[in-house]
Chains A and B, each alone.
Chain A
Amino acid sequence: MKNFTYTIKDAKGLHARPAGLLAKEAKQFNSKIIITVNGKTADLKHIFAVMSLGIKCATTVTVTIDGEDEDVAALALEKHIKANL
């Protein structure tokens, strides 16, 4: 299992489009990917679940990846999040 944390820099927080792009990115991998914020979790491949967490700017999130391709997935997702959020 792998995980990483990140503090959202985008002023708009994790709104619809980034949530969608993030879900798209996550769907490429087999591993189970969970995003956690303030004790609440959501499946990162599910755009509505992620949006309903209401993640704002300056919030710290933890992404947990568990599965065969967790190494590749963790790298790719961390890169994606840093670049887009």
Chain B
Amino acid sequence: MLLLKGKGVSAGIAIGQLAIYNQSLNSIPHYIVANPEEEIQRFQKAQQAALENFQQLYTTAIKEVSEENANIFEVHQMMLEDCDYVEAIESIIRLQKVNAEFAINITAKKFAKIFTDMEDEYMKARASDIHDISNSLLACLDGKKTIQLSFNGPSVLAATDLTPSETMHLAKGKILGFITEHGSANSHSAILARALGIPAVIGVRKLLSKISANMTVVIDGFTGDIYLNPDEKTLANMTQKIETLKYHQTLLKELKGQPNITMSGKEIKLAANISGPQDLAAVLENDADGIGLFRSEFLYLENKKIPTEDEQFTAYKTVIETMAGKQVIIRTLDVGADKNIPCLKLLPEDNPAMGCRGIRVCLMQPEIFKIQLHAILRASAFGNTAIMLPFITSVDEIHAAKIILEEVKTSLRQDNIPFDENIKLGIMIETPAAALISDDLAKEVDFFSIGTNDLTQYTLAIDRQNQNLSSFFNPHHKAIFKLIAQTIESAHKNGILVGICGELGGDPDLIKIFLDLGVDELSVSPPAILPLRKKLRSLE
């Protein structure tokens, strides 16, 4: 078995035979023509043929994919008709008295460079559009009508690269997925693969030199792993994963859009936990009622410097806008010496679990806290937002945070920057202290979210990462449920909502208990939502 690694750009797992697509990379012919005007006519004929091809591909794509994705072929048609592009080719033919292929190649390079020189990632990727249309022109000049490839049954395709035209042509021939040496996640081939729902992996260096036809291959579009001639264990493992995926697909079809309601009409909100805008696709696909926990740390973890207010603002705004009115709860920076972020300059500690973490960091470094609050408030103007403070153990902490929050609000008002004046403020209940005084805390905030992971650790005084202690670690310990019950009672007594955002919330076996206790919302990782909904709808 050989393992190759690339970048997964389209989700899915497929097992099949390998088919190799080797576009004949003929070198571009270059010769003098006696009659440039005739050569120009030859070029124009090829242009017409290429335009017709794109039209056909567009029509096919509309049927097999979607209008949005078919549009790439419309764009290619428009590019092929662009005056600058056409004039450039024709003037080279005329002035240098050379063949069309050569003129097209030079022009392609020149135009592609304009795009690769641009800063914007999207524009950079457009250079490949130029290559695509130029290759189509060259193919038409060469008299090739369509891309030939025959398969012995459903196959996984390997190639140096694939243009959108090729992706569409080949999809018709039933490819299970494709692997390329080059390509980018934003390339149209990747976009089409996602629209077709087939796995795709790109950037597998020297791919063609490592494979031979008819090898069995497993392609994992999630991780970017390629297994050639997989051993039994891998095969069994991946087959199992395919089954799980299929099951999830059926759940989606069955449950998407259905309300989270038991047979007797009891409701509970099912929201998603995310780490950033990159998780939004999963949130929407799995039909979440909102985002119950947006872990804002990712921006700090990714950067070597403190993320600027604008970087934060952009990320928050993207999420808030995409959720289109569904609530997004943003938890303020929640880190400690164990999840150390160099830019925060946290001192090493003997006991990081009991140390400088959560709200403590923000209250000790208010300037950083203000930047984050400023960004969150600005973003709140674009949708339904709430702020949540982590690791609260006292009323004083809430008061201190509120003072800083008010300062930020005042400064925004003075600068005439709009924000949601009614933005809700909630806290995590993840320490025994918070649960025990939840009655007092409930009077200070708009909602609670119970962080069961940390609550369990601190209540049982046990490190859940320590494998040696697994026999002592009971996530369903009576003490935890007592604290949860007390928290819920305090919340409802004071008229506020309470949710659970820890792992316990994602266990379908516990959903009945939580319903009976009166939990208002469960926020879980996106794939856990539909299994919860299924369980919920089967309860009385």
Which residues of A does B touch, CB under 8 Å? 12, 15-17, 20-21, 23-24, 43, 45-49, 51-52, 54, 56
Q: How far is the CB of A8 from chain B (nearest CB, A)?
A: 14
Q: How far is the CB of A31 from chain B (nearest CB, A)?
A: 15
Q: How far is the CB of B118 from chain A (nearest CB, A)?
A: 6
B123-A51 in contact (CB<8A) = yes
User: Given that A16-B75, A16-B126, A52-B114 are contacting pairs, would A47 and B82 also be in contact in the complex, using a CB cutoff of 8 Å?
Assistant: yes
Residues of A within 8 A of B118 (CB): 52, 54
Interface size of B by CB at 8 A reads 19
Known: A17-B71, A20-B79, A47-B79. 7 other contacts (CB 8 A): A16-B75, A23-B82, A43-B83, A47-B78, A48-B82, A51-B115, A54-B119
Contact bitstring B61-92, A, C-beta under 8 A = 1, else 0 = 00000000001001100110011110000000
Q: How far is the CB of B75 from chain A (nearest CB, A)?
A: 5
B120 within 8 A of A: yes
Q: How far is the CB of B327 from chain A (nearest CB, A)?
A: 22
Instruction: Give Cα A21–Cα B71 distance, bound, in whole angstroms.
Output: 11
Residues of B within 8 A of A54 (CB): 118-120, 123
Residues of A within 8 A of B85 (CB): 48
B122 within 8 A of A: yes
Which residues of B does A touch, CB under 8 Å? 71, 74-75, 78-79, 82-85, 111, 114-115, 118-120, 122-123, 126, 129
Instruction: Give Cα A84–Cα B180 distance, bound, in whole angstroms.
Output: 35
Q: How far is the CB of B208 from chain A (nearest CB, A)?
A: 30
Instruction: Give Cα A16–Cα B115 distance, bound, in whole angstroms.
Output: 12
Instruction: Give Cα A54–Cα B122 distance, bound, in whole angstroms.
Output: 10
User: Given that A45-B83, A46-B84, A48-B79 are contacting pairs, would A20 and B119 also be in contact in the complex, using a CB cutoff of 8 Å?
Assistant: no
B84-A23 in contact (CB<8A) = no
Instruction: Give Cα A45–Cα B115 distance, bound, in whole angstroms.
Output: 18
Residues of B within 8 A of A46 (CB): 82-84
Residues of B within 8 A of A45 (CB): 83
Instruction: Give Cα A43–Cα B87 distance, bound, in whole angstroms.
Output: 14
Q: How far is the CB of B123 from chain A (nearest CB, A)?
A: 6
Residues of A within 8 A of B84 (CB): 46, 48-49
A17-B114 in contact (CB<8A) = no
Q: How far is the CB of B201 from chain A (nearest CB, A)?
A: 25
B75-A12 in contact (CB<8A) = no
| Residue among A20, A21, A23, A46 having the largest count of chain B Cβ atoms under 10 Å | A20
B114 nearest in chain A by CB position: A52
A51-B75 in contact (CB<8A) = no
B122-A15 in contact (CB<8A) = yes
Q: List 26 A-B contacts (CB under 8 A).
A: A12-B122, A15-B122, A16-B75, A16-B126, A17-B74, A20-B74, A20-B78, A23-B82, A24-B78, A43-B83, A46-B84, A47-B79, A47-B82, A48-B79, A48-B82, A48-B84, A48-B85, A48-B111, A49-B84, A51-B126, A52-B114, A52-B115, A52-B118, A54-B118, A54-B119, A54-B120
Q: How far is the CB of B238 from chain A (nearest CB, A)?
A: 36
Instruction: Give Cα A56–Cα B121 distance, bound, in whole angstroms.
Output: 12
Instruction: Give Cα A51–Cα B112 distance, bound, in whole angstroms.
Output: 12
Residues of A within 8 A of B115 (CB): 51-52
User: Given that A16-B126, A48-B111, A52-B114 are contacting pairs, would A23 and B119 also be in contact in the complex, using a CB cutoff of 8 Å?
Assistant: no
Residues of B within 8 A of A17 (CB): 71, 74-75
B122 nearest in chain A by CB position: A15
Instruction: Give Cα A23–Cα B83 distance, bound, in whole angstroms.
Output: 10
Residues of A within 8 A of B119 (CB): 54
| Residue among B71, B79, B82, B114 having the largest count of chain A Cβ atoms under 10 Å | B82
Q: How far is the CB of B204 from chain A (nearest CB, A)?
A: 27
A47 nearest in chain B by CB position: B82
Instruction: Give Cα A48–Cα B108 distance, bound, in whole angstroms.
Output: 12
A23 nearest in chain B by CB position: B78
Instruction: Give Cα A45–Cα B75 distance, bound, in whole angstroms.
Output: 14
Closest 6 CB pairs of A and B: A20-B78, A47-B82, A16-B75, A46-B84, A52-B114, A17-B75
Instruction: Give Cα A20–Cα B54 distance, bound, in whole angstroms.
Output: 15
B119 nearest in chain A by CB position: A54
| Residue among A16, A17, A45 having the largest count of chain B Cβ atoms under 10 Å | A16
B75-A20 in contact (CB<8A) = yes
Instruction: Give Cα A41–Cα B120 distance, bound, in whole angstroms.
Output: 18
